[in-house]
Structures are given as structure tokens and as C-alpha cells.
Structure 1
Amino acid sequence: MSQDELSDNYKRAYDNRIGYGQRPALILIDFVEAYFDRSCSLYAGVDAALASALRVRAAARIAKVPVIYTNVVYHPLALDGGRFYQKAKPLKSFLCGSPMGAWPKGLEVADDELVVSKQYPSAFFGTSLASTLTTWGIDTLILTGLTTSGCVRATCVDTCSHGFIPIVVRDACGDRHPAPHEANLFDMDAKYADVVGEADAIAYLETRTQTR
């Protein structure tokens, strides 16, 4: 098929929007030093994604929308690493105590914000995130983070699978290569989530004022 035929084929099959819900939470996925330190094998040059995520976070904080962060933390001997750790060698950067697992400059976590530590790509797998969101009455999860093709995508699929509305903020996600970044944004938008721009997400958050 030609490019135009492919585009028409996808539009015919997947051209649909879920729309925002009424009770959002914001998640910042794995914005840790490893992706910003040039000496680290996980370095991805994603400063623009972090800057965008921080602007979205500022809007969420003003609206009192819950803010959640994830990081990856392993036992010092990687006893809880499993097959993911076995396959992806750079994950050694996230052994407990490694400076590569620290928050980068500008990403200070407030006392009333939640950190979910995980060992696998999805923020839901092996964690209490789904139960927490349900307890808070959340129906929409706004996703930002790193990397688009890895933990963002895995979390997006599980957000959908757990019955929450996934909203992926394009500008606030990053990857080390533009091809998997764009391909995964395209696929998430087609099948699981609404992919939106930063301005759209902020405009929505400005309509929210909520308490837990």
C-alpha cells in the first residue's frame, strides 16, 4: 500500500478519541538522572521532555490534581530484577543506591506527592498503583515520562487495561531515538490512548480543581 493508502487504512480502523474524564491524576514516569547524564549508557538527551513535564506538573499542582512519580529500584544484588534485568543490561544503573536513580535537577518531589518504585516497565506491574488510583476516585491518568517506547508505552497499555483513561502528552515523553518515539506515539494514539500536546493537557488541567 502507498503511504496515503496506509494512512486511510489506519484512519478507517482507529480514528477515534476517548476524551478526558472528570478526575485526573498526573504521572511522571522514570524521569531519573540516568537519562540525563552523558556518562550513563541510558543517556537519551530528553531535556525537552522533562521541561514539558514540569510545565504540566505546575498546572496539575495549581489544580490540586494528584501527582505521581515512578522510578526503577533493584535490590543491591538485583535479586528482584527478573528477566527484564537479565535482558536489559543498562538496568544495572538502577541498583539501590546508584546516583543514576536520583531525580534530575528541577524535579523535586513534594511531600504530598506519591513515588511508586517498580522493577518492570509498567508502573502498574507488581505495584499498588491501580488500587491507589481507584481509592482516589481517579478515572483519567495523564502520562509523561521516559522512555516512550518502553515504560511509557507499557504503562499506557496497562492504564487502558485497568479501566483508566490514558492521556499521553506527546511533548512530555522522550526516547533516545526519534523513530521508536514517533512510532509508539502513533500506535498508542491508534489503539490505547489519546495522544495530546502539552498545551492541550494544560488547558484541560486548568478546568480541574479537585481534592482527594
Structure 2
Amino acid sequence: MDQLDDGKLEKMLRAAFEASTRIYQERGFQRRIGFGRRPALVSVDLANAWTRPGNPFTCDQQVMDAEIIPGMQKLLAACRANGHPVIHVTTAYEITDRDAPFTDMGLWHCKIPIEVVSMADTELWAIDSRIAPVDGEHTLLKKRASAFHGTPLAGILRAAGVDTILVTGVTATACVRTTICDGLAEGFRTIAVRDCIGDRVPGAVAWNLYDIDAKFADVHSADECAAYLETVDGARAAAE
């Protein structure tokens, strides 16, 4: 979209948010869940198929390079310096033949081109090298939108004493949103990191984060989340 269209879209979204806020607040929405005592960073699908150009799943490259990756680097530094758990989540499939009688794609390929993310091409589903996992961090492979659906994520977090998840990644409309919704359903305090969440479609991030903030998570900036990670004594809380 050109600058004029971007301006029109922003104006329309602002008007929609103002009208929706009145309705939400009158009806008791937009409450705060707050940060807990033992956080973990859950990074959703910041793998090369989403973060680099040339794939059907590629997200907005300007936002990815200027905001999401630098924001993630800041969060990772805070987690690593203070001993907070980090889980990198990615997506790939073993059987990508859409005509196969049995496939780990389920029926999702009937809606979106998940067959392009083949486990045979490890570079596609590898976490972006700019935010690559280090020793002590976990990489989790999922098959569906939510990082919780059909995975051991909830158990991994509970075993570490985690009560708060900071969710980043792509996309705001799908895998990030469903992960946040399921995270709250699993009993975790959910925090969406505003400038570390992306999408392919203009306006999708702003609208989804606005709506998520009203119903499923608190939305905070990467700076606010990094400050929390630097000050909360998660290691002591986990030991108690």
C-alpha cells in the first residue's frame, strides 16, 4: 500500500478503536491481567519461511527487519542475562503431498499453502539466525496454528514454574493469536509484545492486538517487557 492508503487505513482503524473502546469499557472489557513472578518468552514462527523474503508465508519485511528482529534481540538478551526460559516455536510437515491418504498437514492445506514448509528443507523452518536459539533454550515443532495445540508446551512451562508468557512472532491473525488465546486458557498470564508481532496483511497487527488487549492478553512494548525481564526475580520465584 502507498503512503496515502496507509494514512487512510490508520485513520479508519483509529476511528474503529475509539468506537470499540467505548463499547468494551461500558461492558467491563479491557481489564488487566498483569505480569507475574516467573516469565517465559514464547516466540512463534520466527523461522526463515516467515522472516525472510521469497516464501508464501513471508511477512512484512520492513517491519520484520526494523522492529521485530531488533525487539526480539532485546528480549532474548534480557532473558539470557536473567535466566528466564525461552521457547522458540516453528512449523513444518513431513508428508506434504496434498493427495496422500495420510498426512501430518491434516486439513489445513485446504485453506493455506502449508505444504511449502517441508521438514526436508531444514533451512525453511530453522529459526532466523539473527535470533537463533542458544544452549539452554528449547525449540518446539508444531503442526497447527497454536503453539499449545498438540504440543508439550504447557507442561514444559509448568515444569519450570512459569506463570507468565510473553508472546512474540507471526502472524497476529493466526498463530500468535491462537497461542495467546490458548495460553490464557491454560492458566498463564498472557502478554503480547506489541513491536515483536507481525503479519502479511496491512492493518492486521493493529486490529488483532487491539482486540487481544480487550479480551485475552495485556499488550506491552518490547521496552516495557525487557524492563520487566530485567527486574523480576523469576529464578527465586521458581525455587519457592
What interval of TM-score do these two structures reach, taking the shorter chain for normalisation? over 0.9
**Bigger Rg, which one:** 2
Matched residue type, 2:192: V
Question: Is contact 2:170–2:198 with CA below 8 Å preserved after alignment?
Answer: yes
| Structure 2 residue 225 is matched with structure 1 residue 191 | no
Matched residue type, 2:40: A
| Superposed displacement of residue 132, structure 1 | 1.2
Question: Is contact 1:123–1:129 with CA below 8 Å preserved after alignment?
Answer: yes
| Superposed displacement of residue 51, structure 1 | 1.8
| Superposed displacement of residue 92, structure 1 | 2.0
CA distance in 1: counterparts of 2:144 and 2:165, whole angstroms = 19
CA distance in 2: counterparts of 1:10 and 1:77, whole angstroms = 43
| Superposed displacement of residue 15, structure 1 | 2.8
| Superposed displacement of residue 86, structure 1 | 2.8
* TM-score, length of structure 2 as denominator length: 0.82
Distance 1:121 1:5, change over 3 A: closer
**Greater alpha carbon shift after TM alignment, 100-109 vs 114-123:** 100-109
Please point out which of 138, 150, 168 is paired with 1:144. Answer: 168
| Structure 2 residue 108 is matched with structure 1 residue 84 | yes
| Structure 2 residue 154 is matched with structure 1 residue 130 | yes
Question: Which runs of 5 or more structure 1 residues have no equivalent in the other structure?
Answer: none
CA distance in 1: counterparts of 2:48 and 2:234, whole angstroms = 31
CA distance in 2: counterparts of 1:7 and 1:160, whole angstroms = 22
Other-structure match for 2:100: none
Q: Deviations over 1:153-187 (max 9, x none)?
A: 01000000000010000001111123111111011
Other-structure match for 1:67: 86
| Superposed displacement of residue 72, structure 1 | 0.4
Tell me the number of residue pairs that the alignment of Structure 1 and Structure 2 aligns.
210
Other-structure match for 1:117: 141
**Greater alpha carbon shift after TM alignment, 62-71 vs 7-16:** 7-16
Question: Which runs of 5 or more structure 2 residues have no equivalent in the other structure?
Answer: 1-14, 98-102
Question: Is contact 1:65–1:208 with CA below 8 Å preserved after alignment?
Answer: no
Q: Deviations over 1:116-163 (max 9, x none)?
A: 100000000000111111111111001011111111001000000000
CA distance in 2: counterparts of 1:27 and 1:17, whole angstroms = 20
Q: CA RMSD in A?
A: 1.7
Pairing of 1:1-212 with structure 2 (within 5 A): 4-13=18-27, 14-44=29-59, 45=61, 46-47=64-65, 48-77=67-96, 79-89=103-113, 91-98=114-121, 99-211=123-235
Identity %: 33
| Superposed displacement of residue 17, structure 1 | 0.7
Matched residue type, 1:59: A
CA distance in 1: counterparts of 2:200 and 2:120, whole angstroms = 24
